[in-house]
């Protein structure tokens, strides 16, 4: 390469190329910041408008679905708690019916009848205890007031955004078995009909609870799939943006290397010339 004293054209040319590359590097700085933020290496960088909009939309959807999932799980918890309690009540009523049927027989001794009356009273007391103590998250479910609650299980405005669950009271008074009289066969026969009516009522409530458990279970499963799909979509968007930023950074760095090498060579030529002139 010829040496020039007055004007170092090679150095000027290298400087021009290097200036262009430096400008590109400055433009690529936001990409580097986004890559660092995505990798957890630095403060979050400002993303492009469309990417930020999509990201915020997906984040909002995930937040709503997470809340809906918790609500559906609470609904499922209510139905399972109430059903378990009513299963115990049903067992007690079945035993009570056995007693009243036996008491309606004309051959029952008076002493045995007294024992049956005592047992029926104890069964009634236990049923009322179950009704008063069955709770979910501190809220009574089958006491004298019954229960009514609404559970949001979907996005607002969707076809099925809420499930309303209503439970009737399951006390002996509500079931119609309080103060049963089995002192005579005729009274015991009437009591048997009352107990059977209570059993039918509890069975109907448990059947409804079974349908609600299915609804809440389906809601939980559907929400879980939706959350997984949205999270996957968000990850894909982030990965695509990061890949584009990494590619841009690599291109800028590759372009910078020749210009930097050219600048170093022209600097070396200048130093050699100065040695000759010394």
Q: Under CATH, to which class is 69-232 assigned?
A: mainly alpha
Predicted confidence (pLDDT) per residue in 129-140, tens digit: 999 999 999 999
pLDDT at 255 over 80: no
* CA atoms within 13 Å, Cβ hemisphere of 234: 18
Overall pTM surpassing 0.75 (yes/no)? no
| Residue entry with tokens 């372009």 | 255
Six token digits for residue 253: 């760095």
Which has more pLDDT, 251 or 69? 69
Contact 265, 34 (CB under 8 A): no
* CA atoms within 13 Å, Cβ hemisphere of 197: 13
Q: Where does the pLDDT of residue 199 fall: very low under 50, low under 70, confident under 90, or very high at 90 and above?
A: very high
Length of the chain: 278
SS3 label, residue 166: strand
pLDDT at 204 over 70: yes
Predicted confidence (pLDDT) per residue in 80-117, tens digit: 999 999 999 999 999 999 999 999 987 777 778 889 99
Contact 147, 165 (CB under 8 A): yes
C-alpha dihedral, 137 to 138 to 139 to 140, nearest 10°: 120
Predicted confidence (pLDDT) per residue in 140-170, tens digit: 999 999 999 999 887 655 555 789 999 999 9
- Angle at alpha carbon of residue 82, lines to 78 and 88, rounded to 5°: 155
Q: Provide the strand spans (E) within the chain.
A: 135-136, 139-140, 147-152, 162-167
Predicted confidence (pLDDT) per residue in 216-242, tens digit: 999 888 887 777 777 666 565 555 555
Predicted confidence (pLDDT) per residue in 15-64, tens digit: 455 555 555 555 555 555 554 554 443 334 344 555 556 666 666 666 67
Q: Count Cβ atoms within 10 A of the Cβ of residue 172 and give its class: 0-12 exposed, 13-18 middle, 19 or more buried.
A: buried
CA 251/CA 37 separation, integer angstroms: 20
């Amino acid at each position: 390469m010829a040496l020039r004293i007055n004007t170092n054209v090679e150095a000027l040319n290298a400087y021009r190329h290097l200036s262009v590359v430096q400008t590109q590097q400055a433009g690529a700085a936001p990409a580097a910041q986004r890559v660092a933020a995505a990798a957890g290496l630095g403060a979050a960088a400002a993303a492009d408008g469309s990417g930020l909009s999509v990201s915020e939309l997906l984040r909002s959807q995930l937040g709503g679905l997470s809340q809906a999932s918790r609500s559906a799980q609470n609904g499922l918890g209510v139905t399972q708690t109430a059903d378990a309690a009513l299963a115990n009540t049903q067992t007690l009523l079945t035993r009570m019916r056995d007693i009243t049927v036996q008491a309606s027989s004309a051959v029952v001794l008076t002493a045995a009848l007294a024992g049956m009356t005592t047992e029926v009273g104890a069964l009634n007391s236990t049923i009322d205890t179950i009704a008063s103590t069955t709770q979910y998250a501190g809220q009574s479910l089958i006491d004298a007031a019954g229960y009514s609650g609404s559970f949001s299980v979907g996005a607002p405005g969707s076809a099925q955004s809420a499930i309303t669950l209503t439970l009737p009271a399951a006390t002996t008074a509500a079931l119609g078995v309080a103060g049963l009289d089995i002192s005579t066969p005729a009274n015991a026969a009437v009591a048997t009909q009352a107990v059977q009516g209570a059993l039918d009522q509890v069975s109907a409530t448990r059947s409804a609870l079974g349908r609600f458990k299915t609804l809440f279970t389906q809601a939980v499963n559907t929400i879980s799939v939706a959350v997984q799909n949205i999270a996957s979509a968000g990850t894909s968007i982030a990965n695509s943006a990061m890949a584009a930023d990494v590619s841009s950074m690599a291109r800028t760095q590759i372009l910078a290397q020749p210009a930097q090498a050219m600048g170093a060579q022209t600097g070396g030529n200048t130093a050699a010339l100065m040695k000759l002139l010394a």
